[in-house]
Amino acid sequence: MKLIPFLGFNGQTHEAMAFYAKVLGGSVVAETSYRDMPMTDEMKGCGDMPVETLDWVAHSQLEAKGAVLMAADSPQGAGPSATTINIDVDSIDEAERIFAALAEGGQVQMALGETCWAHRWGMLLDRYGKPWMVNCMKPMPAEGGA
């Protein structure tokens, strides 16, 4: 299991992650815009996004010397300290167990389900109001397929 910081931005994700990659001596290994995301029932809100935000970053991943940092732009607005803890697990069973436990007494924001990038992904606020994402990732595309 990995705990990965996930940073929220308002249209600055691409610029910020390029800066962090330079500072940390790493590289952005994946970046996808909202426009390029396949729409599913679970992600139907993306279809209602303002046109000017469709090219914002829906997912960015930076890797540097064994460390991982993820980020995205939030069309709903992200505060200056919008940080979520992303739990990256190896199995669907583990993702479902952890998500259910964290959701108990909390508030599910995006139900745990399959996405184009993950076998399971979901977002919630735990009983203490802290934001979490649970990911059981699918294999990353080959270099250059970001």
Reading the chain (146 residues) residue by residue, the pLDDT tens digits are 889 999 888 899 999 999 999 988 999 999 999 888 876 665 555 556 788 888 999 999 999 989 999 999 987 666 555 788 889 999 999 999 999 999 999 999 999 999 888 999 999 999 888 899 999 999 876 655 44
pLDDT value of position 117: 85
Res 40: pLDDT: 64
Q: Distance from CA of residue 118 to its chain's centroid?
A: 10
Query: What's the confidence (pLDDT) of residue 50?
Result: 80
| Residues whose CB falls within 8 Å of the CB of residue 113, separated by 6 or more in sequence, listed in order | 42, 120, 121, 122
The pLDDT of residue 37 is 80
- Cα-Cα-Cα-Cα torsion 115, 116, 118, 119, nearest 10 degrees, comes to 70
d(CA 39, CA 26) in angstroms, rounded, equals 31
What is the token pair recorded at 26?
A: 């790493």
